[in-house]
Structure 1
Amino acid sequence: MTNPLLADWTGPFEMPPFETIKDEDFEPAVDAALTEARTAIEAIAENPDAPTFANTIEAMMRADAPLNKVLGVFYNLAGADSNATRQDLQRTFSPLLSSYASEIYMNAPLFQRIDTLWQERDSLELDPEQQRLLYLTRRGFVRQGAQLEGFARDRLAQVKSQLAVLGTEFTQNLLKDESDWMMELSEADLDGLPDFVVSAARAAGEEKGAKGPVVTLSRSLIVPFLQFSPRRDLRQKAFEAWAARGANGGETDNRDIAAEILGLREERAMLLGYDDFASYKLETEMAKTPQAVRDLLMQVWTPARAAAEADATRLTAMMHADGVNGDLEPWDWRYYAEKRRKEEHDLDEAELKPYLQLDRMIEAAFSCANRLFGLEFERIDPPLYHPDVRAWNVTRDGRHMAVFLGDYFARGPKRSGAWCSAMRSQQKLEGEIRPIVVNVCNFAKPPKGAPALLSYDDARTLFHEFGHALHQMLSDVTYESLSGTSVARDFVELPSQLYEHWLEVPQVLEEFATHADTGAPMPEALRDRLLAATTYDMGFQTVEYLASALVDLDFHSGEAPADPMERQADVLEELGMPQAIRMRHGTPHFAHIFSGDGYSSGYYSYMWSEVMDADAFAAFEEAGGAFDPEMAKKLERHILSVGGTREAEELYTEFRGRMPGPEALLKGRGLDSAA
């Protein structure tokens, strides 16, 4: 029988035929696609005809198409619906794919063709997108070692292969620690917890096959437990398990893996002639240098730490008033911050959550996209990879724009966090190809028949990931490697963080924040209190994020630490890290920077993009309001539709007329007046 991963997909929207794909199909499909890609690349490199853009650059784009088709399905499943077989396959594929990439980048005749085109670029009559693709292709080859020779060339290939294997191992260790741990709760342990936390704990217990309710390490369950449980002993047990992910000893311990990754990254950078990995990595980002990143982060660190220290004093007093002596601990912060929020803003998560139904928030995200960009969403029911996944046909003026998949609920085989990916990216090289875009979240699944209720942070996450999805859906470029989110790492978060602002638009909440039981809209007074509290506890949120970003930057600047945990402690001490706050991502579970190179030296990028997103939303407010049609057109024309066809700074300047400073960010976080 034909392997379904290699056959033409002829179903609706040319979706992957999930109903016929089996795990045993992946390895032969990858082997066949790799063989086909190698043959195609060799034919390009050995082509006796003089190099042209078509027979070299465009031919390279086509060579990888079958492989990208298979891997687009596999890696989405490996992240969102893992199992033992898929984890084994990840470990098998990592060195194979790294070796294939090294073969291409180290292919001297192939690079010679690319370099010849680069030298002759002024006479090739290329359009701007083709010029950009040629530039990025050549730059990518050079940065991957195409100009190295002898030992350095061979060693770089070995280093990259080892890094691929270690990144996979780090991810799988973390997933195992997260999926294995649970804390069973007695009925008495549920006292003081709001109904939505109790329901989530019972649903998690059913999913885990436990006898009763449980707390797991899913953020959507453990965070509300830490917010509401009056049992300090249970909060401590849960928090310490959460903080210990990847650092429990034994086979899943990630500390030595992190050290090895950092050492190999330093070696990689030095083989390529850079002082350190941060200098190598940031060269192609908007920030350009480690010092530019550090300067921005420290401008925010000082007021954020001051705000957090002031808050810690207040929370400690509240704890002492409860008869608990001693210092405020990390497992106390969220509990007393929630009590303080209720006291100061009359805002209770238990009162708020029934108004933030998952289905209504999805509708809200779709409605905003319709008002801004004319997109329409029709629910469809093709075969999908899990019963929880939903699908929509996205159209504009009757034209198909994308298939959008939403995979919203936490489950054991799914890695933690939230992300957007594309099983297929937009391109026009082979006719009009529209994307298949996936948003993956880890919201607590409700009991059967009950509506899924979100926290406000959950709702922001939904809008954030949908902002990434819009970047993919509205892409309108010729070449896949430039489409959608294929932009500088510190620019990629701009569309996602910008889209979060529409959740705060009062008329959006008025229409879509309706009560799960009564259908009544959120009362205006509650909505006003919610919006007034959006910067509440921002000192804590900013400090835990910045600590992770600054540790990431330090790890990759200068000599790699032999003991990352010791270096982490030193960095936090130098910063004056508040005692009751931990890094958002401690080193052993810092998947952003250790699961792959994506955010290594780049965790700062959320804040770099935030400088722009605060300023970009201000542009709407300065014009005709949040749904100003001309600003929406400018946003699509200059940012959302053009992918990586231009430099990020150039794109933003065309949209806004200038680059912003950090003032809007500080104001947006309520830190502009912090001491």
Structure 2
Amino acid sequence: MKNVYTMFLLTVLFTSCNDSKSKNETTSQDPMNTTENPLLVESTLPYFAPDFSKITNDHFKPALDQGIDLQEKAVQEIANASTEVTFDNTILALEKSGEVLERVSNIFYGLTGAHTNDTLQAVQEEMAPKFAALQDAIFLNDKLFQRVKHLNEIKESLGLEAEAVKLIENYFEQFEKAGANLSPEDKEVLKGYNAKLAALENQFNKTLLEANNNGALVFTDKAALAGLSEAQLKSLENTEGEGWKIPLLNTTQQPLLQSLENRATREKLFKAAFYRTDGSAHDTKGIITELAELRAKKGALLGFPNYAAWSLQGTMAEVPENVFKMFEGLIPAATAKAANEAAEIQQMVKTKGEDFTLEAWDWNHYAEMVRIAKYDLDENQIKPYFETKTVLEKGVFYAARKLYGITFKERIDIPTYHEDVLVYELFEENGEALGLFYADYFARPSKRGGAWMSNFVTQSKLYDKKPVIYNVCNYPKPASGEPALLTYDEVETMFHEFGHALHGFFADQQYPSLSGTAVARDFVEFPSQFNENWALYPEILKNYAVHYKTGEQIPQTLLDKIKKSGTFNQGYSLTENLAASNLDIQWHVIAADTKIADANAFEKEALAKTKLDVVSAVPPRYRSTYFAHIFGGGYAAGYYSYLWTEMLHHDAYNWFENNGGLTRANGQRFREMVLSRGNTLDLEQMYKDWRGSDPQIAPMLTARGLE
């Protein structure tokens, strides 16, 4: 997942909390002193990378406060200027106004997502309403809006380059979307909504992370964990007491459900995940209903029938009706395939001599048996060939070299925020420096769930800066001395997140707010999903899929089995995704006067009326109560984008297949026409210019085995 919004919304995107301590302990420095606060001056490290050896917890609050103060003052000066309105003294000045705040925010929210602690949590909670107020101070400032509006009206006569014209349009659209046309009275109401929403989103993330950590299950009877390997058991050893501790990941289904043989254990683990934020000390039902109702009121205040209609402005989908139309085209085929899969799995249960009705906690365990029976493919046969660092260097990086000519060098001299983080420097084919990449792959209590990419430093010619980008995942960390082996899904996730990174590394923009991944939600997932395709490409797969002990290349027989099983369980996968996407939109098309008495009842009805509950053993990928993407991660009314861009990525890969596949020429063309363009062009036209036609859905249906 890529976090794609402006720095004003960073508090929404990266909020999370935990009581573990980071290595950024306090010092005797005076954090208010600019000369002693490393966040308030440019880093002297390569690429202006954050110097985590100097940054402490106590540096953040004063640096964030000063960044906000500097931007507020700059905005006031721009708005109140008596001079003639020009691009330089309005748009360019506005673009530059948040330079300090962006630098500090990028580092702060990078840490609060990947390695937080009590101090950072407290700062987050304090800063949330301040960021909301700052956004309002900018986008609800009428004097400033009139200057931007005037420039937008005369932009074609200013003799500017195309990217500068796009920057004017981008700011004008942001102002209008934020409510710049409201009356003074309504602006005050909106400010109240925004402050409350920021606080609720922060509260949701805080509660969810606590729920994830407190929901971990401890087992003291080894028999209850039958089916797990000795390596898995060793990695689960409870460091706080006896037995073994299974942490909860952010999704409904938990990875170990596939291996656990004890049905009671599976049920206990599944329900721990399913009910983690429902009826406990970490209940989020009240938070999400208040969020949804308040968002609906905000949408109405801004002149829209619902929040989704307001939120989808500027996206490829445009309106909620188009999202529902996509759902309607996919749901029948997805649920029909899931029903067939359920029947196969139920038969496997019977074949194994069991007598029970298939439930959600049984699916992955018996589906793996079906896969072994149908395709003679056992995931435990595959994992020894997928060692984490080898997949990264000989798979992900190798694919990037073959397509785009870039090379990588590990840097052990760059300070990081955690010992698990790897750092690499990237170079162009001609040896020119491209940027710096941080890889943070292992789960820990101080990290929020999921996987994502973002920037510590954003590319821009305006500041002569190259990108510093990080990928974060939550792979189980092996016990000391054990190899870090991945499932194939985890391999795909690594390729996915690096697809986002490439979108950021290849950015070639003058202005940071248009750079790289600063595009609509239903386009930003396209480069990342497209990059997944290379994980199974024969030349790439053979290069990285080598046995961690022997160095032996993965046998062709296993490769054939992996490809043959490519459409296995796709009914389940698509249905759980559609269910989550549908829940998101349903929460955000409610009218402003709607009162939701029971969040669980709302969820049940939302799934029933779209017929996404017909296969009872297929739950949503995320239940509403722990759906961090939409209630705390900036994807409200936008989770559909994963499916929307799936259509694009399969269509794009179809073009590659028909034009020679993995070649430098194809990669360079894709880089120049798509990956390097940022938000400087109309996205639909950009895609069409590269593809030569509008995208087609047929390749996606074929890849999913739905036609």
TM range (shorter): over 0.9
Alignment map for 1:472-511 (pairs within 5 Å): 472-511=504-543
1:110: which partner in 2? 144
Alignment map for 1:547-626 (pairs within 5 Å): 547-559=579-591, 560=594, 562=596, 563-574=598-609, 575-577=611-613, 578-596=615-633, 598-625=634-661
* Counterparts of 1:321 and 1:624, CA distance in 2: 45
1:288 equivalent to 2:318? Answer: yes
Q: Which amino acid aligns with 1:624?
A: G
2:371: which partner in 1? 341
* Counterparts of 1:158 and 1:451, CA distance in 2: 51
2:401: which partner in 1? 370
Contact persistence 1:179–1:413 (CA under 8 A): no
2:386: which partner in 1? 356
Q: Secondary structure at the match of 1:642?
A: coil
* Counterparts of 2:285 and 2:251, CA distance in 1: 26
Cα shift at 1:190: 6.3
Q: Secondary structure at the match of 2:254?
A: helix
* Counterparts of 1:553 and 1:576, CA distance in 2: 14
1:409 equivalent to 2:446? Answer: no
Pairing partner for 2:576 from 540, 544, 550: 544
1:400: which partner in 2? 433
* Counterparts of 2:390 and 2:397, CA distance in 1: 10
1:175: which partner in 2? 209
2:562: which partner in 1? 530
Cα shift at 1:248: 3.7
Contact persistence 2:386–2:545 (CA under 8 A): yes
Q: Which amino acid aligns with 1:10?
A: T
1:211: which partner in 2? 242
Change (3 A) 1:556 1:113: same
Cα shift at 1:214: 2.0
Pairing partner for 2:698 from 632, 641, 663: 663
1:4: which partner in 2? 38
Q: Secondary structure at the match of 1:393?
A: strand
Pairing partner for 2:489 from 431, 454, 457: 457
Contact persistence 1:201–1:221 (CA under 8 A): no
2:163: which partner in 1? 129
1:518: which partner in 2? 550
* Counterparts of 1:629 and 1:405, CA distance in 2: 25
Pairing partner for 1:87 from 121, 124, 127: 121
2:272: which partner in 1? 241
Cα shift at 1:568: 1.1
Cα shift at 1:496: 0.3
1:435: which partner in 2? 467
Cα shift at 1:324: 3.3
Give me the CA root mean square deviation. Answer: 1.6
* Counterparts of 1:326 and 1:616, CA distance in 2: 44
* Counterparts of 1:454 and 1:215, CA distance in 2: 17
Q: Which amino acid aligns with 1:506?
A: P
Q: Secondary structure at the match of 1:48?
A: coil
Cα shift at 1:194: 4.4
Gap regions ≥5 residues in structure 2: 1-29, 31-35
* Counterparts of 1:569 and 1:375, CA distance in 2: 49
Q: Secondary structure at the match of 1:659?
A: coil
1:640 equivalent to 2:699? Answer: no
Q: Which amino acid aligns with 1:417?
A: G
Q: Secondary structure at the match of 1:120?
A: helix
Percent sequence identity over matched residues?
A: 34
Alpha-carbon deviations, 1:89-132, whole Å to 9, x = none?
11111000100110111111111111111122121111111111
Aligned length: 665
* Counterparts of 2:247 and 2:109, CA distance in 1: 25
Contact persistence 2:252–2:622 (CA under 8 A): no
Pairing partner for 2:411 from 380, 400, 403: 380
* Counterparts of 1:11 and 1:182, CA distance in 2: 39
Cα shift at 1:185: 3.0
Cα shift at 1:186: 3.9
Gap regions ≥5 residues in structure 1: none
Q: Which amino acid aligns with 2:636?
A: S
Pairing partner for 1:629 from 645, 652, 664: 664
Q: Which amino acid aligns with 1:267?
A: K
Alpha-carbon deviations, 1:27-50, whole Å to 9, x = none?
111111111111111111122211
Alpha-carbon deviations, 1:352-378, whole Å to 9, x = none?
100111111101100111111111111
* Counterparts of 1:609 and 1:338, CA distance in 2: 28
Q: Secondary structure at the match of 1:210?
A: coil
Cα shift at 1:327: 1.8
Pairing partner for 2:131 from 87, 97, 101: 97
* Counterparts of 2:612 and 2:664, CA distance in 1: 46
Pairing partner for 1:419 from 447, 452, 477: 452
Q: Which amino acid aligns with 1:476?
A: D
* Counterparts of 1:201 and 1:5, CA distance in 2: 42
Contact persistence 2:525–2:645 (CA under 8 A): yes
2:285: which partner in 1? 255
* Counterparts of 1:373 and 1:127, CA distance in 2: 28
Alignment map for 1:26-105 (pairs within 5 Å): 26-105=60-139
* Counterparts of 1:309 and 1:76, CA distance in 2: 41
Alpha-carbon deviations, 1:61-107, whole Å to 9, x = none?
11101000001000000010011111111111100010011011111
Q: Secondary structure at the match of 1:214?
A: strand
* Counterparts of 2:139 and 2:252, CA distance in 1: 44
Alpha-carbon deviations, 1:533-586, whole Å to 9, x = none?
121101001100001111111211242551332121012222151111110000
Q: Which amino acid aligns with 1:602?
A: G
Change (3 A) 1:120 1:220: closer
Cα shift at 1:9: 0.9
Q: Which amino acid aligns with 1:310?
A: N
Pairing partner for 2:298 from 268, 283, 290: 268
Contact persistence 1:376–1:395 (CA under 8 A): yes
Cα shift at 1:511: 1.5
2:255: which partner in 1? 224
Normalising by structure 1, what TM-score? 0.96
Normalising by structure 2, what TM-score? 0.92
* Counterparts of 1:410 and 1:661, CA distance in 2: 37
Q: Which amino acid aligns with 1:5?
A: L
